[in-house]
Every structure is written in C-alpha cells, then in structure tokens.
Chains A and B, each alone.
Chain A
Amino acid sequence: MEINRRIFLGSMLYIVSASVLPSELKKSLNLTVFKSDATFFEADQFTLLYDIADIMIPRTDTPGSMDTHAIQVLDELMISWAATSTQQQFNQFLSEFLLRAKSTFNTSYFLLGREKRQSFLELIDERAFDKDKSDFAIAYKRLKALIFHIHYSSESANPNFFLVPGGYRGSLTQDELNVIYERKYL
C-alpha cells in the first residue's frame, strides 16, 4: 500500500495514490510507503516510522498502531511538543537505523521483506534493553516509549474507557462488569 499523505490531525483523511513500487515488490514487502513529506518528518522517515510502529504494535484482534494513527500523531507532536534536542535525536536515530540496516543486509531497509525488517527491529529492541547504552539505544527507547504512549492513550486502544463512569463499584463479577461495559454507564 502506498499513501500520499496530507496533514493528518485536522482531516483524518488519507488519499491513496498510485504505486511507487512495482506491485509484485509491494506485495512481497508488505510496506506502506509515503510519498510526500509530513509535517515534521520527511517522506522516507515517515515511511520508516510507520513501519517500525506497525511492527511494534501490529493489528491483531485489537487495533494496531496503524489504526490509532500513532505515527501521524507523533509527527504532530514533534512540532507541538518536542524540543529541538528531541527532534535532532530522532532524526539522527532514523538515519542511523537505515545505515545499520544497510550495513547488516547490504540493501535498503525499504527493500527488505517484512520478516527481515521485523527481526532487525526485534534485535535492536533486545539490545537496547540489554546492554546497549549507546545514543542509538537511548533514542530507540525514547521513540518506543512515545509510540506506546500515543497508541495506548488513543480512543481505539481504550474501548472500555469511560469519561463519565457515573459512579464506583468495588466488587463486581466479570458478568456484572460486562453488563456495565455494554450499557456504557454505571
């Protein structure tokens, strides 16, 4: 899937455009490619982040990062929230990420199949929380924390959130709780 994206937060709209990769390759890569720059991130960066987030929090029987538009929100936060140091940190991280992928696989990250991309990210994740104290690992952990925060603070990821619960009950069975969830109010 390729998406020519315009600013997300205002419109919540996507415009699906023509492919930029051969359809066979597109199918085998399972990669969403963005053609135009986002608000903060450039198109390649956005494509990379979108893929990272999708690998981190894939769609299952519950929404994934794609469904919660985690990277679109992240892109906006880079302007509205991030300090210059964070902007630079993430830019450097993304560049380094692509360089490491190239060095490891001898080809562009964007031309790797989904399995290889996923195993590459899993390795980075494992090392970052293991012994790697590098700037790269620190940046990765910050990025992961942000993606998780954005996803898990989204409406789609919180189907049982009640802005106005209506009251408190401290001793309910699962069945009683389910009835309340259905009713959407105590």
Chain B
Amino acid sequence: MNNDYDVIVVGSGITGGWAAKEFCERGFKTLVVERGRNVDHRGPEYKDFKAPWDLQNRGMPNESLAEDGHYATLRKKGHLYKTDALHFFVDDKKHPYSFPEDKPFMWTRGYQLGGRSLTWGRQVLRWSPMDFQANAKDGHGIEWPIGYEDLAPWYSYVEKFIGVSANKDGLKTLPDGEFQTPWEMSYAEKYISNNIAKKYTDRHLIIGRAANLTSPSQDQIALGRGKCLARSYCRRGCSFGAYFSSQSATLPAANNTGNLTVITDSIVERIDYDDESKKVSGVTVIDANTKERRQYKSRVVFMCASALGTVQIMLNSTSKTFPNGIANSSGMLGHYILGHVTGVVADADVPVSEDKFAFGRRPIATYIPNYRHEKQADANFDRGFGFQTTAQNRTFSRPSAKEKGIGIIAKQSVGQPGPWRFRAFMYGEVLPYYDNVATLHPVKKDDWGMPLLHIDAEIKANERKMIKQAAKDIHEILEAGGCTNIKVKATPENKHIPMGKQVHEMGGACMGNNPESSVLNGWGQAHDIPNLFVTDGACMASSATQNPSLTYMAITTRAADYAAKLLKNNVI
C-alpha cells in the first residue's frame, strides 16, 4: 500500500467524515484512520429491524459484564446500556481512562467506523452570535477568534447536505437555517408552547431540529438515503440512512470520488513532527490487532478523533520542539475541558383533552433555547441554560414490577391511557475553567502502550448557582405553560455531578487569537504548525448550551476549505 497521502484525517466520526468528504471532493488523496473496527452501513451490526422481543436477552446485557466491571460508564447511564446498541459503545475496562477519585468523569466513546455519528442525539442547533461573544464579554476562557458570521454560510452548507428537519422559529438566540419539513409537536406540546408564548417574549418551546430526513433531496436520495419513518431506533444504525451519520452520508460521498482510503483497527499513537521543516509529516499508527506500528505520510493532518481522543494523541506526540505535546508551545493543550451540565429534571401533567393521542416514535424532542445570554437581575451566575423537553406521546399505565400487586387486577391496570406528561431536562453551559484539564497519566498505559488520559474536571460554583435558577425557572415556565402537578428535581449541592454525563465533552485544544494562550487559530489550524488542524470538539473555546455537533461540522468544512486552498497554493 502506498502510505503517502495529501491529507490524513484521524477519526471517522461526525467531523472525520466531513473532513474526508471535503478533501476528497476537492481532489485530494485522503486517508481516514479509524482506531475501531469496520462497521458496514446496513450491515449485521445494525439492529434497527429488531423488535423488543427479538433483541438479544430481551435487551438486557449479560450480567457477567457488570460483575466483571465492564462498561462502567455506560452502566451509570442506564438507558444506553442495552443489547440493541451496546456494541457501538466503548467498554472502558478494555479502553480505560483515568480521573481523580473524587471527580469521576463520564467519557462515552464509540470506537468503530463512524464513531459516535452512529449513536449521536441528532439535535442540530446553530450557535447564536451571542454564544461566540460570551468569552470576550464576561472574561471567562479564551476569546473566540471567530463569530457567527464566519460560520453562517458553513452552517447552511452542512445543513443542506445532512438534512435538518426543523421549523423556522425566528429566534435570535437560535438562528434558523436550511430546513426540511419539521416534525410535528404533539397536542400537549402545542398547548404548552402556545401558553408560554402568551406570557413570555424571551422563552419559547419549539420543536427540536433533527438530522433526520423528512423531505430528502435528490442528492440525499442519490446517496441511498431515505425518509425517516419514525422508529426512533437511531442509535442502532439506520438501514434507511434516514439520520445523518458518517456511514450514511459523508463517507459514501467521499468514496464516490475515488480519492478515499479508509483504514480501521488503526490506533494513532502520535502525530509525526519534522523538526527541520517545522511541519507534521503524518501519523504513526498501532495496529489494534497485531500491535505492529506503521507510518503514513501526508501534507496535512486533520485531527477529528473526538475532543478528548485528539487531546490524548496530541499530548502523546512529543518531539524535541514540542516536549509537552505537539503544537503546545502555549502550554494550553489539555486545558479548558468543557461540557454541559444537567442538574434539573422537571415533570408535569398537561391538562388537555383526554381524547387526543399520538402515533409513532418521533426521533427528536422539543426544546426551550437558552434565554439567559444577557445577565438578568435575578441571576448570580454567568451564562445560561436551555431545556431539552418532551411530551411526544400520551402516557399509558405501564406494568410495574416495582410495586405490590399481581394477578388480574394488576394486569388490568396496564395499558390504560393516562394524562399527557411533559418532561424537561436542563442543559447548562459549563464555564471554561483553565484547571479543568486533561493530561497523560504518568504511569498507567493501555494494552497498546498509550498512556491513559487523565481527566481532572468538575463543575463549580457558577454551575451550582445556575442549577438553582434553572429549577425556579422551569417551575415558572411550566406553570405559565398551563401544566399541573409540577415536580422539579434539582441535584442537591452536596451531590457530585460528573462532567461528561451529557457526552458533549469539548475543549482541550482551544481556538484563540493569541498563540500564547491558545492552541489553534480561527481556522482550527495549530498556531505552531501550519499543516496541523483540529476541528473536532477539542477546538471549542466555550460550550454554549446547544448540542455542539452542528458547530463542529461547520468548523470542519470551513477549515477544510481553507486548508485545501493552502494545499493548492503550496503554502502547506
């Protein structure tokens, strides 16, 4: 095999797939290096045509896995620990990481072709201009070197390709984009949304914006993608290609060019740096099965290995010039690990007509976007929060083996229609903290000899204050929405809230204008090395409150376009 390429993309998930597509379509020979196994689109690993009774062990993972300490992170999440998609998540016993005992970190990973693009939440929300201005405005973290206007055309570019079903809501806090037909709100959700609109001008309940096709374009159909049929089994893989993933969209598009090479089971150990040319020359890879090392050369390296995966590889890429990790002259590599925090869950009855029902499994929730960008009189914290919400189906009495009762009477109570219930989960912005940091463990290594990533990150006083306010707010919002029997649960101050629980880990190689205080410039290009780019979550300088993947994709396409021009002009 020829090991020389124009571009090497490390990782095949959301951003890796995009980088591959963009470079391949511009005529560059591109190598995608994936540490996990190959997963074929519509292959046997997709379980989307399994009814509940067809799932292995009725959905229950073998008990011995827990007894032997496997999947510790996933087991804590509960709803993901099922046999329908367990194979798309990493077992942290096989792939350990490290954290301080008193600050457990939940790192959810997917080591396979497509990475977490197979299992992501598909909520695609643009950031607003205010989100990019937040660091500069309140002084937390590193000032963003780019703003909304820089990304806006790339948001549009990405949305057209991936397919976003959404409503044009006209909110300045959540800019509209290129949308397909939105999913319908349920009767109860419309009731709440209308009531909220009567009381507030700044708080809105909207339908979520989903990367699930509702009106596929000819280009999407040509890639083999079809309309979403409301199964909501997305994390099992979708044989219809109805939700966006690397397998369904970007990798096939890249492959169609003839410029794509993909290698799987290949763990990038380090990015190779040439002290003389002051450029990266490629990557060194460990074969996941044989543990043999191989080198691949390229003119450009794009890091798309997920935020923490990328930080781990960069920290491990030491050289004479960069003894503390590649492109780390600032010493900022690994710092400002970011994320989202959920400390409030609310639940309420929706007193609407009892003769209304829903059908189907809508693949997206409803959403209350952040309305606290501007610090308000009642706020003793910086930044804000939004809520992921839903009342998509009416409740039906379910069999409860957790309560007393057996026999005919207990059985007859099952399946009776109950009230519509609305649930809301706070998604708050964790401020950028310098001391939320990822480093390499000084001693512990994995089976391939890579030092474990040690993640020392926590939420702090600002987020605790935010949780208190969110609890008050959602109670008020649900009252205004006409809900009854409102129950709000806020995580007590003395209860640990692990970072990483919402999966949206970001930061560690932040963008910034100043090479002395940031790793990357506004193009995702390393300040220190012109042919090294980082465009996954690691590049983020703040987390906002929105689900971040759409922004990663926009940043990646913009960076790829920039890097392609540099390549064509032989600048790099």
Contacts and interface: CB of A to CB of B under 8 A. Distances in A.
Interface of A: 55-58, 60, 62, 64, 73, 77, 80-83, 85-86, 118, 121-122, 125-126, 128-130, 141, 144-145, 147-155, 158, 161-174, 176-177, 180, 186
Contacts of A163: 49, 51, 231
Contact of A177 (B66, B67, B357): B357
Interface stretch (B15-23, B54-62, B166-174): B54-62
Given A60-B411, A62-B411, A153-B52, A130 B404 contact: yes
Interface string B393-436: 00000111111111110111010000000000000000000000
Contacts of A122: 406-407
8 contacts: A57-B406, A60-B408, A81-B60, A122-B407, A128-B404, A145-B401, A152-B399, A168-B183
Interface stretch (B184-192, B285-293, B320-328): B184-192
B521 interface: no
B359 A172 contact: yes
B360 A129 contact: no
Contacts of B53: 153-155, 158
B46 to A, nearest CB: 13
Specify the main secondary structure of chain B where it touches its partner.
Answer: loop
Nearest to A56: B406
Which 3 residue pairs across A and B have the least CB separation, nearest first? A170-B186, A168-B360, A83-B63
Nearest to A77: B57
B93 interface: no
A139 B407 CA distance: 19
A150 B187 CA distance: 32
A80 B392 CA distance: 35
A60 B355 CA distance: 26
Residue of A118, A152, A168 with most chain B CB atoms under a 10 A cut-off: A168
B230 interface: yes
B64 interface: yes
B52 A174 contact: no
Contacts of B185: 170
Contact of B359 (A150, A153, A155, A186): A186
A141 B356 contact: no
A165 B359 contact: yes
B231 A55 contact: no
A149 B52 CA distance: 11
Contacts of A158: 52-53
Contacts of A176: 357
B229 interface: yes
B359 A125 contact: no
A122 B406 CA distance: 7
B444 interface: no
B489 interface: no
Given A62-B411, A153-B53, 11 more contacts: A81-B57, A82-B63, A83-B67, A145-B401, A151-B399, A152-B414, A168-B392, A170-B362, A171-B184, A173-B355, A173-B356
B313 to A, nearest CB: 37
A57 B406 CA distance: 7
A169 B355 contact: no
Nearest to B188: A170
B209 to A, nearest CB: 15
A169 B356 contact: no
B379 interface: no
B358 interface: yes
Interface string B126-146: 000000000000000000000
Nearest to A177: B357
Given A82-B63, A150-B58, A165-B359, A129 B230 contact: no
Interface string B214-234: 000000000000000111000
Given A58-B411, A81-B57, A152-B414, A168 B359 contact: yes
B361 interface: yes
B414 A171 contact: no
B408 A168 contact: no
